[in-house]
Structure 1
C-alpha cells in the first residue's frame, strides 16, 4: 500500500508539472504577445549568436519602423515565416529594410551564412523579434519528439518509478532521507557549463566533455551517497533528463554537425515547442546511436550500483554508510 502511495505522489507531481508548463506557456503568450513566445533553434545558420538547441524568447514588434536593420551585431534578430511557406520558421538577422506598397520589407541574413537570404520578408510574415535565449536546453523537447528519444526517457522513468518492484530493497536499515549535499558537486558541473555558454558560445565541446566526465563520477558516487534510494534516483533522473540529454545532444552536433533540422529534414531554422512525435530521418539514427554511446554506460553504472546496494550486498552497504558519513 505504501508503494502505491508513492506512485500516486509521483503521478500528482507530474500533473502539477504539466499544469505549470501549460499555464506558463499561456503566461508567456500574454506577456510577449506572440503566437509562439518560446521556440527552439534547429539549424546552425545563426551560430554563434544563437546556438543549435537554444531556446529563444520571441517578443512582439509593436512598430516595424522601429526594427533596427543593420549588419551584425547591431541588426535585430527576427522570426518569420519563410516566403512562400506556411510552416517553415526562420530566425535570422534583419540587415536592411525598405518601405514598399504600404509595408516594411526586411532583408535578412543568418550570422553563420555567407550570403543574404534570397527573398525579402514582408512585415506580415514576421512573427516577432528575439528578446532572449536559454542555451542548449531546447534539445530536450526536440529529443522527446522522436520515437527513440521518447522511449528512452520513458524507459528510464519506468525503471525509477517502479524500482521497488524491479530492484527490490533487502536492506534492514530504514532510510533516513537526509540529503548528501557534497555529492551534488559532480552534478553541478553541467548546469554551470550551461550558464557559461551564455557568454562563451564558441567553446561548447571542451566544457561539455568535462561536464560529461563529472557526470560519470556522479553516477559512481550517487548510489552510495543517498540514504534514501528513492530520493537519489529521482534526483539523478531529473538531472539526467533535463540537463544531460540536452548537453549530450549538443556534443553530438559539435562532433558530427548533425543538427535537429537534419533529424526531420526540416527546412526552417527554428521550430515552435510542440509535443507531437514526429518521424525522424536516418541522420537522427546516427546521432542517437552516438548519444547512446555517451550516456548509456553511465545510466547502466548508476542503475547497477543502485540495484546492488538495494539488495544489501555487504561491501557496497558498508561503502555507502562510510561515504554518507563523509558527505553529510
Structure 2
C-alpha cells in the first residue's frame, strides 16, 4: 500500500477562500438589510442624499422607514416625509416640535441634525412616509445607482452568482473526496 501525503493548501489559496467567503457574507448581509427585511416588514428604504442629518445619518446611508401612525409621533422622532404632499421627493429629518392646528390636525416642525434652523414649512400627517427604523452607512449609494427595476435584477444576479459559487465549491469538495477515496484504495 502506498503512503499518500495530505495535500497542503497554500497560504494564497486560504486567503482567497477567506476573501471569497467574506464577500459572500457581506453581499448576503447587504441584501438582507436593504431588500429582504424592508420587504418582509412592509418598510421602505430611502437613500440619504444630503448632509442635513449628519452625524446621525451620513450622505450615502440607507435609512429604512416603516409605517407609523402620525398621532404617535413626538419630538425627537426621525421621520421620512414628502417635501410636498403627493410628490415623490422626500426628506428625512427629526421632529423638533408638534403643533395642533385650529381644525385639530397636528403638524410637525422638522429639522436636520446638522441644520442651524428648523425647516421652513411644517409637515402634515399626510406627508409622513414613515419613521426611521434603522440605517446602514454607505448602502444608500447602491440604492441610488440602481433604478427600481435594476435593483430586482441586481438581487437576482447576486443571488445567482452566490448559488453558482456555492455549487462550484461543493463540486470541488466532492471531487477532492473522490480523489481521496481512490488514492486510499
What is the TM-score normalised by the length of structure 2?
0.56
Residue 28 of structure 1 is aligned with which of 38, 41, 45? 38
Partner of 2:109: 107
User: 1:95 Cα deviation (Å)?
Assistant: 0.3
Please show how residues 151-190 of structure 1 align to structure 2 within 5 Å. none
Is 1:38–2:39 an aligned residue pair? no
- Closer, same or farther: CA 116–88 of 1 in aligned 2, 3 Å: same
CA distance in 2, matches of 1:47, 1:123: 25
Partners of 1:136 and 1:26 lie apart in 2 by 18
Note the C-alpha offset of 1:143.
3.1
Q: What does residue range 1-328 of structure 1 map to in structure 2 within 5 Å?
A: 25=35, 28-32=38-42, 37-62=44-69, 64-69=70-75, 75-83=76-84, 86-100=87-101, 101-144=103-146, 275=148
CA contact (8 A) 2:85 2:126 kept: no
For 1:143 and 1:27, the matched residues in 2 are separated by: 20
Distance 1:142 1:65 in 2: 31
Q: Deviations over 1:67-102 (max 9, x none)?
A: 121xxxxx0100100135612101010000022223
> Alpha-carbon deviations, 1:261-314, whole Å to 9, x = none?
xxxxxxxxxxxxxx368xxxxxxxxxxxxxxxxxxxxxxxxxxxxxxxxxxxxx
Mapped to 1, the partners of 2:84 and 2:100 lie a distance apart of 17
Bigger fraction of residues in strand: 2
Displacement after TM superposition at 1:38 (Å): 1.1
SS at match of 2:144: helix
TM-score of the superposition, structure 1-length normalised?
A: 0.33
> Which residues of structure 1 form unaligned runs of 5+?
1-16, 70-74, 146-274, 278-328
- For residues 202-227 of structure 1, give each alpha carbon's deviation from its aligned partner in whole angstroms, at most 9, with x where no partner exists: xxxxxxxxxxxxxxxxxxxxxxxxxx
3-state SS of 1:78 partner:
strand
Task: Report how far residue 30 of structure 1 moved.
Answer: 4.8
TM superposition shift of 1:60: 1.5
Q: How far apart, in 2, do the equivalents of 1:61 and 1:90 lie?
A: 16
- Check 1:27–1:134 CA distance in 2 against 1; reply closer, same or farther (3 A cut): closer
CA distance in 1, matches of 2:85, 2:79: 17
Relative to structure 1, the CA distance from residue 124 to residue 144 in structure 2 (aligned partners, 3 Å threshold; closer, same or farther) is: closer
Structure number with higher helix proportion: 1
Name the CA distance, whole Å, in 1 between partners of 2:68 and 2:44: 12
SS across alignment from 1:106: strand
RMSD between aligned residues: 2.6
- Once the two structures are superposed, residues 219-272 of structure 1 have per-residue CA deviations (whole angstroms, 9 ceiling, x without a partner) of xxxxxxxxxxxxxxxxxxxxxxxxxxxxxxxxxxxxxxxxxxxxxxxxxxxxxx
2:176 corresponds to: none
Q: Give every structure 1 segment of 4 or more consecutive aligned residues whose post-TM-superposition deviation is greater than 4 Å.
A: 24-27
8 Å CA contact 1:83, 1:119 repeated in 2: no
Given that 2:38 and 2:64 are in contact with CA atoms closer than 8 Å, whether structure 1 keeps it comes out as no
Give aligned pairs, total. Answer: 119
* Alpha-carbon distance change, 144 to 126 in structure 1, aligned in 2, over 3 angstroms: closer
CA apart distance, 1:115: 0.9
